[in-house]
């Protein structure tokens, strides 16, 4: 594990392999270990997986609850650590990747986003607000139960892993400050969608959905695709929203295809 200072935070990341640089960005209530299977399997790429602000082993700094700050953290990582790269993001991480691609096309050569949204509806915004309130005390039974419910809803196949995944997500969340910060940033997409900015993207974007994803269904992927000048859709079968738990092999396979087709 490496922990450089980037801006106002100490960013924990792991790297593996050699070749073209690929930066991997995890989702809400996760950490860099989300990508451990892909880092092990894609040895012909130089992969970097980092913990988002306030998640895992990355400090929270002066968090301002904006997508711009989370996207700026990714830009800082690209500038200081990996150099220009293909950026792969899941859920929240995909939204962060799209923000960076729109603002720094010189650093994001290609984006691959899985289970990602560029706009948040009223219901989803209410969901984030409810979780933010509970996360004021991540040690409470209420927050643990809510995170367990959310995790269960995100699994379509690997339900036997529920307890393990919940424990890992609680560890990634820690005191909840980073979780609340990121949840507020996502809720902000209700009033200020990222969608209009996608028309300016020069990089190719691969949009990846999961057959049984109820959090980011095909409609969310289609909104992104309709806005992109250069986008392509891929779908992973036998998976819900937590696609890298339900079908990690499927994630690896689609990444191998998308990473190699542009290089």
pLDDT grade, residue 261 (50/70/90)? confident
DSSP state of 64: -
Which tokens belong to 227? 């806005």
Q: CA-to-CA distance for 164 and 1, rounded, in angstroms? A: 22
- Domain holding 103, by residue range, is 5-261
The CATH number for 110's domain is: 3.40.50.1820
pLDDT in tens, 59-102: 999 999 999 999 999 999 999 999 999 999 999 999 999 999 99
**Inter-residue contact 120 to 92 (CB < 8 Å):** no
Q: What is the pLDDT averaged over residues 18-37?
A: 97
**Number of domains the chain contains:** 1
Would you say the pTM of this structure is higher than 0.85? yes
**50-60: pLDDT as tens digits:** 999 999 999 99
Main-chain phi, psi angles of 136, to 5 degrees: -60, -25
The neighbour count for residue 25, using CB atoms within 10 Å, is 32
Is residue 138 within 8 A of residue 178, CB to CB? The reply is no
Q: Using 50, 70 and 90 to split pLDDT, how confident is the model at 124?
A: very high
pLDDT band at 263 (very low <50, low <70, confident <90, very high): low
Write out pLDDT tens, residues 230-245.
999 999 999 999 999 9
Distance from C-alpha of 113 to C-alpha of 15, rounded to nearest angstrom:
20
Contact status, residue 197 vs residue 119, Cβ threshold 8 Å? no
Structure tokens at 162: 């529920």
> Which among 234, 204, 236 has a CA at the least distance from the CA of 110?
204
pLDDT tens digits, 153-197: 999 999 999 999 999 999 999 999 999 999 999 999 999 999 999
């Amino acid at each position: 594990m490496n922990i450089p200072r980037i801006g106002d935070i100490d960013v924990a990341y792991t790297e593996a392999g050699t070749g073209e640089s690929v930066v991997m960005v995890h989702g809400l209530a996760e950490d860099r270990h989300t990508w451990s299977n892909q880092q092990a399997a894609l040895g012909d790429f130089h992969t970097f997986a980092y913990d988002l602000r306030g998640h895992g082993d990355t400090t929270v700094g002066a968090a301002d609850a904006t997508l711009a700050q989370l996207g700026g953290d990714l830009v800082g990582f690209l500038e200081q650590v990996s150099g220009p790269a293909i950026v792969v993001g899941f859920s929240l991480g995909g939204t962060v990747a799209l923000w960076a691609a729109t603002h720094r096309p010189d650093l994001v050569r290609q984006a691959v986003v899985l289970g990602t949204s560029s706009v948040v509806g009223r219901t989803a915004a209410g969901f984030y607000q409810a979780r933010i309130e509970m996360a004021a005390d991540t040690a409470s039974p209420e927050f643990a139960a809510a995170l367990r419910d959310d995790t269960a809803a995100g699994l379509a196949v690997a339900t036997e892993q529920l307890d393990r995944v919940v424990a890992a997500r609680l560890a990634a969340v820690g005191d909840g400050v980073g979780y609340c910060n990121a949840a507020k940033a996502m809720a902000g997409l209700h009033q200020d969608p990222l969608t209009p900015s996608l028309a300016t993207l020069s990089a190719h974007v691969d949009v990846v959905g999961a057959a049984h994803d109820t959090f980011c269904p095909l409609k969310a992927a289609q909104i992104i695709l309709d806005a992109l000048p250069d986008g392509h859709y891929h779908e992973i079968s036998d998976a819900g929203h937590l696609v890298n738990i339900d079908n990690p092999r499927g994630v690896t396979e689609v990444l191998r295809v998308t990473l190699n087709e542009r290089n």
